[in-house]
Structure 1
Amino acid sequence: MVCLNLPPHLRYKPENMYLAGLVPGPKPLCQHQINPFLDILVDQLLPSFNPGLFYTRTADYAGGRHVRAALVPLVSDILAARSATGLGAATRGDHFCSVCNIHKDNIETTDHTKWAPRDARTHWKLAEQWRDATTEQERQNIFAQHRVRWTPLLRLSYWDPCTMIVVDSMHNLLLGVGKRHSLVLWGMREDRPDGD
């Protein structure tokens, strides 16, 4: 984790970063495997935001300073982002976008004004239904229909799973995820009549 209050040239220095934890690899964790790790992180973040922390002395405040800390945004690869926010994989199911409610049947709609944005309140409601389901079959049905499940990040009152995730540039650009989405998923190829 980095402190966004620091100037960009100081944010990513090792002494200014907080390693919240490591998850075992080499394969991505599924939801029931990652949630215990997120629970530990959220347990640490909750008191940092409300009531906040009091530092008895800082360089600028000899009498101390009250601060609040929040997790914004979550920057990761798309698999980790969707898992951490309680969304199903982008390659499965009818709802593949973490920002809007576009259905896979309308994947070729490029007019973004027709993409209804995801709503955090609806996401929370569906995630709570999944969490409070009394049977595994009921959970599976909720997830199959809405592609949403509970995540410990929803314990953070300020967390908005629809706007607080960012796919990092390494995965998006350097490893070619953006290119793959354009060419493979969206079929945007120059050798096709409808390609650009």
Structure 2
Amino acid sequence: IEEFDPSKWPRRSHSEHIKYANEWRNAAHQARLAKKNGIRYTPLLRLLYWKIVHYILIEPMHCLDLGLAEHHVRELLGI
């Protein structure tokens, strides 16, 4: 993942995410497919209540590293 502009990130539904994850799990060339779709399989996807596209968040370390904290303080909080 090399794109840091959220407006350019592809939007995916939960069903699309599951589809790509299962394709990755069953693929012979997983590295190529992961690079293309940016998705890998995890056993957590078997949990019916686990909707990764709804519950994802950026943890504090990456928030600071990517400059998101500065954006939040300046743009969202107006400080």
**TM-score, normalised with respect to structure 2:** 0.65
- Aligned counterparts of 1:115 and 1:144: Cα–Cα separation in 2: 14
Deviation at 1:157, TM superposition (A): 1.7
Structure with more contact order per residue of length (Cα contacts < 8 Å, sep ≥ 6): 2
**How high is the sequence identity, in percent, across the aligned residues?**
29
Structure 1 equivalent of residue 32 of structure 2: 141
Rg: which structure is higher?
A: 1
Question: Are 1:181 and 2:66 counterparts?
Answer: yes
Question: Are 1:124 and 2:9 counterparts?
Answer: no
Deviation at 1:147, TM superposition (A): 1.2
- Aligned counterparts of 2:34 and 2:12: Cα–Cα separation in 1: 16
Deviation at 1:178, TM superposition (A): 2.4
Secondary structure at the counterpart of residue 163 of structure 1 = helix
- Aligned counterparts of 1:115 and 1:147: Cα–Cα separation in 2: 11
Q: Of 42, 55, 79, which aligns to 1:151?
A: 42
Deviation at 1:181, TM superposition (A): 1.4
- Aligned counterparts of 2:44 and 2:20: Cα–Cα separation in 1: 14
CA spacing shift, 1:141–1:118, aligned 2, 3 Å: same
More helix by share: 2
Deviation at 1:118, TM superposition (A): 2.9
> Alpha carbon RMSD of aligned pairs, Å?
3.0
Gaps of 5+ in 1: 1-92, 95-103, 189-196
5 Å-filtered alignment, 1:12-27, equals none
Alpha-carbon deviations, 1:126-185, whole Å to 9, x = none? 00001112x2xx2111101011111000111221111123345xxx1xx5x4232117xx
Gaps of 5+ in 2: 72-79
Secondary structure at the counterpart of residue 52 of structure 2 = coil
Q: Which runs of 4+ in 1 moved over 6 A?
A: none
Query: Residue 179 of structure 1 aligns to which amino acid in structure 2?
Result: L
More strand by share: 1
